[in-house]
């Protein structure tokens, strides 16, 4: 009997992201399918034998995993493929998340003299501690203490969710697939500066002036689009 397939796909895309639900075998060879790949396609789901659970929970973490290039990369995928129910119907549900964090390069000038005394990637802290003889009498009269801490990180977070339902019709199959992908970018920057001035001319050290600021911004970017 002639085989046929009826397929209805509803796809809602916030943006094309970096997260790929395909198996490593499929991504590496382009032609060899794993059961995970079969679970993503209505016309191949019956090639998945029985009920299956897919997971990479070893990468599910609230922290970060630093790779060889000073970039964090956290990915997890979890999903399930049902066995047959109600006379041959099958369903699959798979979700995944992928997070990157890239440190930005920073240069800071705690004492605001026009010269950057410290630099680094991601997070930088610098301290400058000056002792001054203001009247040139050989005694230290004032202490200027500067401390600055700055951070700069670029981040992206991609997620994907897929739900699929199939049922046999005659000698063929009917399937419905819904998939949603999203990716969000943002940049996080903070800059904290403290400046304390101490009077050392007397017998006791006296804090005569303190100033500081704590600045931060959060720039979010998303580019919603739809592709059916």
Write out pLDDT tens, residues 5-23. Answer: 444 433 333 333 345 666 6
Q: Which residue has the higher pLDDT, 7 or 50?
A: 50
Share of the chain above pLDDT 90, in %: 22
Which neighbouring-strand residues pair with 124? 150
Strands 142-169 and 123-132: antiparallel
Share of the chain above pLDDT 70, in %: 72
Q: Is 76 helix (H, G, I), strand (E, B) or coil?
A: strand
Which long-range contacts link 29-36 to residues 24+ away (Cβ below 8 Å)? 35/81, 36/77, 36/79, 36/94
Q: Which pLDDT does position 60 carry in this prediction?
A: 52
**C-alpha pair distances (Å), 143 with each of 113, 117, 164, 206:** 16, 19, 69, 10
Q: Which pLDDT does position 78 carry in this prediction?
A: 84
Q: Which residue has the higher pLDDT, 168 or 115?
A: 115
Tokens of 181: 């992908």
- pLDDT for 66 beyond 60: no
Tokens of 119: 């630099």
Tokens of 110: 């705690």
Q: Which of the 8 DSSP states describes residue 66?
A: B
């Amino acid at each position: 009997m002639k085989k046929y397939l009826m397929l209805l796909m509803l796809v809602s895309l916030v943006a094309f992201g970096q997260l790929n639900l395909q198996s490593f075998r499929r991504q590496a060879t382009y032609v060899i399918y794993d059961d995970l790949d079969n679970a993503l396609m209505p016309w191949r789901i019956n090639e998945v034998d029985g009920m299956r659970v897919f997971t990479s929970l070893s990468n599910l973490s609230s922290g970060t995993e630093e790779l060889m290039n000073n970039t964090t990369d956290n990915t997890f995928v979890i999903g399930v493929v049902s066995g047959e129910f109600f006379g041959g119907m099958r369903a699959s549900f798979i979700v995944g998340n992928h997070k990157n964090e890239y440190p930005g390069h920073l240069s800071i000038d705690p004492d605001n003299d026009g010269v950057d005394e410290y630099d680094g990637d991601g997070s930088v802290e610098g301290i400058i501690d000056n002792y001054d003889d203001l009247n040139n009498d050989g005694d230290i009269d004032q202490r200027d203490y500067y401390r600055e801490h700055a951070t700069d990180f670029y981040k992206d977070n991609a997620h994907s969710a897929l739900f699929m339902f199939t049922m046999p019709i005659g000698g063929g199959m009917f399937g419905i697939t819904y998939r949603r992908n999203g990716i969000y970018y943002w940049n996080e920057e903070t800059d904290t500066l403290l400046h304390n001035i101490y009077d050392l001319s007397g017998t006791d050290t006296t804090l005569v002036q303190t100033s500081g600021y704590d600045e931060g911004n959060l720039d979010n970017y998303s580019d919603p689009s739809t592709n059916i």
